[in-house]
Amino acid sequence: MSTIRKSWLQLFLETYQIPIIRTWLGLVEKEAPQLKEIMAELADHLYAMLLNPEVPVEQDPRCEAIYNIFHKSGVLQMPLDSLPDMFHLLRLSIMQFQTSYIYRQHIPPEETTPAVFSLHQRIHAIQKALLEKQRSESVGQLHLDRLSLLGKMAASMAHELRNPLFAIEGMLRLIESELSHEERSKVKRYLDVVQQEFSGLYGQITGFLSFSRNQQMEEMFVNCRLSELVAAVLELIRPRLNNEGVEVELDLQLDPSLTIQKIALQQVLFNLLNNSLDALAYGPYPKLIQLHSHEDEDSYYVDITDYGEGIPEHLKDSIFTPFVTSKSKGTGLGLSICKQIMEKNGGEISFTSQKGMTVFTLRFFKEGSALLADQTMAQAVSRPSQGEVEGSGG
C-alpha cells in the first residue's frame, strides 16, 4: 500500500514539476517581487527534496544549499521570517494542480489523504529545519557580538589597571632595595605574598586581554609541560587551599608538552580551581579537588573534579555565556574567558555536573598544538620579542 501511495504522488510531482514551480514563482513575484530571483535559484533544490522523501531532511545536503542561498550577500539576501509565506505559496501552487490530478486519475481517498498529508509534513519539516538553523546561527552570532564588545571593554579596563599596578610594584621593589639585609629578611614572607598577588592580578589582566581582537596585545605561544603549568597555578592558590583545608590530588602520569599561551592557560586553571573551591565552601562536601590527565588518538585532556554542590540545572546551557553566574558577587566572566582562551589555544572546554560532583575538562587537540607551534615560529620571525604582560610581576 505504501508503494502505491508513493507511486501516484511521485508521478504527479514529476509530471507537474515545471508548471508547479512556474506557478509558485509567479505568486512570489506578486507577493514579494524582490525575492523572485533568489527563490528561482533555490526552487530546483527544494523540489528535489520533495521528490526524495526517503532522505531525512536533516541529512539532505540540499537543505544546506538552500540555506546558503538565503544568506547570499547583497540586496537579494532573504530574511527567513518571510519563509513561512514562501512555503504557503508553494503549497497553494501544488494544490492548484493536485486536486484535478487526483480527480482525473480516480485515486481513492484511502490513498489520497495519507500521501497528501505526508507531502505537507515534508514541506513543514524543510521549513522547520531552515528556521532552526537560522535561530541557532543567530544565537551564535549574538554570542560573538557579546565577546567582541567585551573585548573592547576588557582591553580598555586591563590597560587602565595595568599601569597603576606596574607603578605600585615598582615602588615595592624600590622599597625592598632600600632595606637592609636584616630588615629585608624580616619582611620577606610578606613581600613574597605581595608578589604572588601581583602574579594573580597580571593573570587576571591576561584573561581580560584574551577577549581583545588586537593581535599586538596577544601573549606569545610557548612550549610548556602540563605539570609545569599545574605547579605554577597551585603555588598561586596554595594560601586558599591551606586556609580552607582542601586537598588537591594530582594524577598527571601523562605530562604532554603543549604549545600554549602559558599565562593565559594558567588563568584558565586558576579560574577553574577557584570555582571548585567555591563549590566546596558550603555544605558537608569532601574537601578534595582532583586533577587527572589522559589522552586519545586526537587530543590530550585535563579533568578538574570537585565533589561540591554542582552547577544549577537552569544555568547548564548558558554557563559559558558572559555575565551568567550563580554567585551573588560573581561577574559571570570567568568561564567565558576560559572558553575564549581555550579556543585561542587550539582546544575546548566542557563540563559535566550533578549534585555531588562537577568535572571540567580541558581538551587540547594534538593537531591544533602542531599548528600553533608553526604559528609560534612565524611570530618569532615576524615581530620582535616582547615582554610578557605578567613578566613584570615576578
The pLDDT tens digits of the residues spanning 261-286 come to: 988 898 899 889 988 998 898 778 88
Q: Does the pLDDT at position 73 exceed 80?
A: no
pLDDT of residue 255: 92
Among the candidates 107, 125, 144, a domain finishes at 144
Contact in structure between 30 and 136 (CB atoms under 8 Å): no
* Contact residues for 307 (Cβ-Cβ < 8 A; gap 6+): 280, 285, 286, 288, 356, 357
Same domain, 236 and 380: yes
CB-side exposure of 367: number of CA atoms within 13 Å? 2
The answer on 379 and 253 residing in a single domain is yes
pLDDT tier at 194, thresholds 50, 70, 90: confident
Same domain, 242 and 307: yes
Counting beta carbons within 10 angstroms of the beta carbon of residue 331, is it exposed (0 to 12), middle (13 to 18) or buried (19 or more)?
Answer: exposed
pLDDT per residue over 316-359, tens digit each? 888 887 666 665 555 567 788 888 889 989 899 999 998 889 99
Residue-wise pLDDT tens digits, 118-164 = 888 888 888 787 777 666 655 555 556 666 666 666 666 665 676 67
Residue span of the structural domain in which 169 resides: 145-209
Name the strand (E) or helix (H) holding 342: helix 334-344
Residue 80 within any structural domain of the chain: yes
Residue 393 lies in a domain: no
CATH of the domain at 306: 3.30.565.10
pTM for the structure as a whole: 0.48
* 262 shares its domain with 370: yes
The answer on 161 and 140 residing in a single domain is no
Whether 222 maps to a domain, the answer reads yes
Q: Is residue 275 part of a domain?
A: yes
> Are 197 and 261 members of one domain?
no
What is the structure's pLDDT at 3? 45
| Residue that terminates a domain, selected from 187, 209, 231 | 209
> Which of the two residues, 159 and 363, has the higher pLDDT score?
363
Q: Are 177 and 96 part of one and the same domain?
A: no
Q: Higher confidence at residue 214 or residue 156?
A: 156
* Count of domains observed in the chain: 3
Decide if 394 is inside a domain.
no
On the question of pLDDT at 308 being above 70, the answer is yes
Cite the DSSP H helix spans in 293-344.
334-344
Instruction: Mark whether 135 and 12 lie in a shared domain.
Output: yes
**Is 100 in the same domain as 182?**
no
Cell numbers standing for residue 80: 527567513
Q: What CATH number has the domain bearing residue 174?
A: 1.10.287
Domain boundary among 124, 144, 164: 144
User: Using CA atoms, how far apart are residues 238 and 248, in angstroms rounded to an integer?
Assistant: 10
DSSP for 17-56?
HHHHHHHHHHHHHHH-GGGHHHHHHHHHHHHHHHH-TTS-
> 372 near 346, Cβ under 8 Å?
yes
If one counts every other C-beta atom within 10 angstroms of the C-beta of residue 187, the result is 13
DSSP string, 345-359: TTEEEEEEEETTEEE
Q: Cell triple for residue 97?
A: 494542480
70 and 8 fall within a common domain: yes
Phi, psi of 78 (to 5 degrees): -100, 125
Q: Quick count: other Cβ atoms within 10 Å of Cβ 219? A: 21
Closest CA to 276 of 263, 287, 262: 287
Q: What dihedral do alpha carbons 183, 189, 192, 196 form, nearest 10°? A: -150
How far, rounded to the nearest angstrom, does the alpha carbon of residue 282 sit from its chain's CA centroid? Answer: 30
d(CA 199, CA 195): 6
For residues 245 and 371, state if they share a domain: yes
Cβ–Cβ under 8 Å, residues 235 and 275: no
